[in-house]
């Protein structure tokens, strides 16, 4: 998802009886649905896993601005431009809420930036695909934000207080993101055949990467079982992917589009769609840094940070000077 394949360090989940008193008390609070807050005792693995998961999620929000930012200056109308700008600004805010949540676990903002810029930290695979036409912007809102919502809604009930609260704020805003995307596509499919073809082309390119956002099947993964025991993950990847497909296919039909999956078929018995397997080799390749836009995204992000240095330094100098003046005046 926005945080894909987060490792938990453990090799197996321990039962309550095997735990030290501290850890046992912690686990019992989690089991009872209580929130864990920053200064409270928590297992080291819980802290580390959360730092990985939340910072990866934050990086995804920040890097996720880039594919869409590509179209701000080329939006078809002034209204669409204002809407897209507001959406991309929201994503900056999402990144910020999440960085703050991660900081409560003892990692600094600079450390997290360092990890992103050095390539040590990951962000979602989805943002390494190019945005070739205006229809891609609609498709991102509809599919990518749609998939993000699937994952983020249950995270509002996450056991770690600051993460859960950040998710509540984020989820309030995501619905605008998805709707503005779908709305842009609704307009385009009612246009001339070339516009409708553009939307179909966008769906063809974004469908599979969107399904990959949920990550490979993790039913057998010890990391996933541990994360579920800690309540920092509520559903398996396959479960969320199924929900996403079931929700999205009728929407594609409404737009008069064809989902690019020959194996897609309604399964009456399970009350959901059967669908094909994403190309996991492609997924692992993108994760490893070899997607179509990995280098471009990281360079753009680093350049934005470096180009802003003089301004940040100016603000810091001003703050120090004013502080010194007010001390002198006392």
Partner 1 sequence: MSSEWPLWEVFIRGQHGLNHRHVGSLHAPDAEMAVNNARDVYTRRNEGVSIWVVKSSEITASAPSEKGPLFEPSNSKVYRHPTFFDIPDEVGHM
For 134-192, where are the alpha helices, taking DSSP H only?
134-139, 145-155, 161-189
Of 96 and 186, which has the nearer Cβ to partner 1?
96
Q: How far apart are CA 31 and CA 165, in angstroms?
A: 19
Residues with Cβ within 8 Å of residue 71, at least 6 apart in sequence: 84, 131, 134, 136, 137
Tokens, residue 213: 């956002």
Taking a C-beta distance cutoff of 8 angstroms, is the pair 156, 171 a contact?
Answer: yes
Query: Helix (H, G, I), strand (E, B), or coil: what is residue 267?
Result: strand
| Residue 317 binds to partner 1 (criterion: CB under 8 A) | yes
| Residue 89 binds to partner 1 (criterion: CB under 8 A) | yes
Q: Rule CB under 5 A: which of 133-192 touch Fe ion?
A: 145, 148, 174, 177
Member of 90, 136, 174, 218 binding partner 1 (CB under 8 A): 90
Partner from partner 1, Fe ion, none binding residue 148, C-beta < 5-8 Å depending on class: Fe ion
Q: Rounded to the nearest 5°, which phi and psi values hold at 267?
A: -110, 100
| Residue 303 binds to partner 1 (criterion: CB under 8 A) | no
| Residue 68 binds to Fe ion (criterion: CB under 5 A) | no
Of 18 and 313, which has the nearer Cβ to partner 1?
313
Q: Rule CB under 8 A: which of 18-37 touch partner 1?
A: 37
- What is the number of other CB atoms lying within 10 angstroms of the CB of residue 66? 20
Give the x-and-dash track for 21-60 against Fe ion (CB under 5 A): ----------------------------------------
Give the x-and-dash track for 168-207 against partner 1 (CB under 8 A): -x--------------------------------------
Q: Helices 44-63 and 78-103 sit at what angle, rounded to 10 degrees?
A: 160
Q: What angle do CA 241, 143, 118 make, to 5 degrees?
A: 85
Q: How far is the CB of 327 from partner 1 (least distance, A)?
A: 13
Q: How far is the CB of 181 from Fe ion (least distance, A)?
A: 9
Q: How far is the CB of 169 from partner 1 (least distance, A)?
A: 7
Q: What angle do CA 101, 107, 234 make, to 5 degrees?
A: 45
* Side-chain half-sphere CA neighbours of 285 within 13 A: 11
Of 141 and 278, which has the nearer Cβ to Fe ion?
141
Size of the site for partner 1 (CB under 8 A): 28
Member of 108, 118, 175, 267 binding partner 1 (CB under 8 A): 108
- What is the number of other CB atoms lying within 10 angstroms of the CB of residue 326? 9
- Bin 160: left if φ > 0, else alpha if -120 < ψ < 50, else beta: beta
Q: How far apart are CA 294 and CA 163, in angstroms?
A: 27
| Residue 241 binds to Fe ion (criterion: CB under 5 A) | no
Binding region for Fe ion (CB under 5 A) = 61, 91, 94, 145, 148, 174, 177
Binding region for partner 1 (CB under 8 A) = 37, 39-41, 86, 89-90, 93, 96-97, 100, 103, 108-110, 165-166, 169, 309, 312-313, 315-319, 322-323
């Amino acid at each position: 998802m926005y945080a894909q394949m987060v490792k938990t360090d453990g090799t197996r989940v321990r039962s309550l009886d095997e735990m030290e008193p501290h850890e046992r008390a912690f686990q019992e609070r989690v089991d009872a649905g209580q929130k864990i807050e920053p200064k409270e005792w928590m297992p080291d693995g819980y802290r580390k896993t959360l730092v990985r998961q939340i910072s990866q999620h934050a990086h995804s929000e920040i890097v996720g601005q880039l594919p869409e930012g590509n179209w701000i200056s080329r939006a078809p109308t002034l209204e669409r431009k204002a809407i897209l700008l507001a959406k991309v600004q929201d994503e900056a805010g999402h990144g910020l809420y999440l960085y703050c949540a991660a900081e409560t676990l003892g990692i600094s903002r600079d450390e997290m930036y360092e990890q992103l810029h050095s390539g040590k930290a990951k962000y979602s695979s989805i943002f390494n695909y190019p945005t070739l036409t205006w229809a891609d912007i609609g498709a991102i809102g509809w599919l990518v934000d749609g998939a993000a919502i699937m994952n983020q809604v249950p995270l509002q009930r996450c056991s770690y207080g600051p993460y859960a609260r950040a998710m509540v704020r984020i989820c309030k805003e995501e619905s605008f993101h998805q709707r503005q995307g779908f709305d842009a596509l609704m307009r385009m499919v009612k246009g001339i055949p070339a516009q409708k073809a553009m939307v179909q082309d966008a769906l063809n390119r974004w469908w599979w990467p969107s399904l990959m956002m949920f990550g490979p099947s993790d039913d057998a993964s010890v990391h996933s079982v541990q994360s579920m025991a800690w309540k920092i993950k509520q559903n398996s990847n396959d479960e969320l992917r199924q929900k996403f497909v079931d929700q999205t296919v009728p929407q594609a039909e409404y737009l008069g589009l064809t989902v690019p999956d020959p194996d897609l078929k309604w399964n009456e018995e399970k009350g959901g769609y059967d669908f094909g397997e994403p190309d996991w080799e492609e997924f692992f390749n993108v994760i490893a840094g070899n997607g179509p836009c990995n280098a471009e995204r990281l360079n753009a992000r680093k350049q934005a940070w470096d180009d802003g240095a003089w301004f940040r330094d100016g603000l810091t100098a001003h703050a120090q000077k004013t502080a010194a003046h007010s001390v002198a005046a006392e």
